[in-house]
Amino acid sequence: MSVWNPDNIRDVAESVGIVNLNNDVTENLARDVEYRIAQVLEEALKFMRHGRRTLLTTQDIAHALRVLDVEPLYGYETTRPLRFGEASLGPGQPLFYVEDEEVDFEKLINAPLPKVPREIAFTAHWLAVEGVQPSIPQNPTAADSRNLELMSKGPNANSTLAAMSGNGNVAVKPLVKHVLSKELQLYFEKVCGAFLDECSEEYRTSGYSSLREDPGLHQLVPYFVQFISEKVTHGMKDIFVLTQVMRMAEALVQNQSLYVDPYVASLVPSILTCLIGRQLGGNADLSEQLALRDLAGSILGLIARKYSHASHTLKPRLARTCLKTFLDPSKPFGAHYGAIIGLHAVGGVEAVRVLILPNLPTYGSLLQEGLADEGARRPEAEKVLELLVGVLGTLREGGPALANGHHGTVTDDLQTQLTNRVGEFLAGQISEGGDVQLAHAIVDA
């Protein structure tokens, strides 16, 4: 028994002049029609699914007919849904038809003519000549290239740069989807909470020890680096938070099981901010601020020693940044303190000899003005002077940084040579200390 009505077969047969069909013939033809229709619908549904749609269109039916090597129907190539009307020819004989859209003839006549389409044309231009893009209208300009560089490239990218490029509302999906197990997510939350727990020193120590020694934390490294960056950016007035995230960075770098090389470029800006930042911790004590700068300097030196083999420009870039801050008279003495620590940590004795020592005659005058100030600059200037004397002490062969050498009287000749090397003010400070060995080391450097 066929679902398709055999009477339809008889109606079609009579329309082409075939009458008195056998019932067995109509039954077989009805089954064949049912099979053919199901075959067409099955192929049409494939086109619908591949088009990621849930509505079957006449275009899908046409594609299915072409695949089955059947001449497609004509007159139904439209994207608008078809509206079917119903007419009655008699009792129990409804007739369905496609309703035509009614068009006002007067509006159709008075409507403006459509624009004449442009003729199809092809042009050729040089995209690049020997690797250089020519400056022609078809190629992007330098401004367009800069806008592409400023575009936000991830969910955590800088929104300010995106706004500058005019693409602040563009949503960019990450290329790689990170999937963390619940255990790693719980570990990340616990460790971050431990570092920022002000009530329990033991809890913080446990978190530091775990992050420094535990293996198997490779997937969490970018999340820890992002956490450090966010806390430094939004917690510049909280000296405790800054100190703890620097200890977190120190633990990451000291962990022998982690591969931190790809994330050094993202980690260094946070460390430099805590090293040579203008204001750290708001109204925190000077000793706490300098302790933070000392910690950041030691981490920077550790990074320079551990990862300089992977990037030959790492040390020069770090030293250049610290030297720029050291030579900027508009920066506070706290930033100068961090810059001196950074230079010594990154370059060692050679950086003191080549970068710090030649600039001391000019810097001595600035330091003298700071020591003469009775305000908040004087304590910082005193700490910078103490640090400078200690760093210059590394020029002595085999002597520790803050140890005094042989005490005695600095001769006039030695005093003159010392003044030529470090300036009158710093030469007087070293002479008052009576460290003859340090004076000789500076002159001979």
Confidence of residue 414 (pLDDT cuts 50, 70, 90): confident
Residue intervals in the chain for CATH 1.10.20.10: 1-78
Please determine, for residue 106, whether its predicted confidence score (pLDDT) is greater than 50: yes
pLDDT, tens digit, for every residue of 166-181? 554 555 555 555 678 8
From-to residues of CATH 1.25.40.770 in the chain: 181-311
181-311 maps to which CATH number?
A: 1.25.40.770
pLDDT of residue 303: 92
Quick one: three-class SS letters along the chain? CCCCCHHHHHHHHHHCCCCCCCHHHHHHHHHHHHHHHHHHHHHHHHHHHHCCCCCCCHHHHHHHHHHCCCCCCCCCCCCCCCCEEEEECCCCCEEEEECCCCCCHHHHHHCCCCCCCCCCCCCCCCCCECCECCCCCCCCCHHHHHHHHHCCCCCCCCHHHHHHCCCCCCCCCCCCCCCCCHHHHHHHHHHHHHHCCCCCHHHHHHHHHHHHHCCCCHHHHHHHHHHHHHHHHHCCCCHHHHHHHHHHHHHHHHCCCCCCHHHHHHHHHHHHHHHHCCCCCCCCCHHHHHHHHHHHHHHHHHHHHHHCCCCCCHHHHHHHHHHHHHCCCCCCHHHHHHHHHHHHHHHHHHHHHHHHHHHHHHHHHHHHHHHHCCCCHHHHHHHHHHHHHHHHHHHCCCCCCCCCCCECCCCHHHHHHHHHHHCHHHHHHHHHHCEHHHHHHHHHC
What is the rounded average pLDDT of the residues 67-85?
72
Average pLDDT over residues 30-43: 91
pLDDT tens, residue by residue, 222-254 = 999 999 999 998 888 889 999 999 999 999 999
pLDDT digits (tens, 9 = 90+) for 373-397: 777 788 888 999 999 888 888 887 5
Q: Which CATH fold topology does 1-78 show?
A: Histone, subunit A (1.10.20)
265-306 tens-digit pLDDT: 889 999 999 999 888 887 888 889 999 999 999 999 999 998
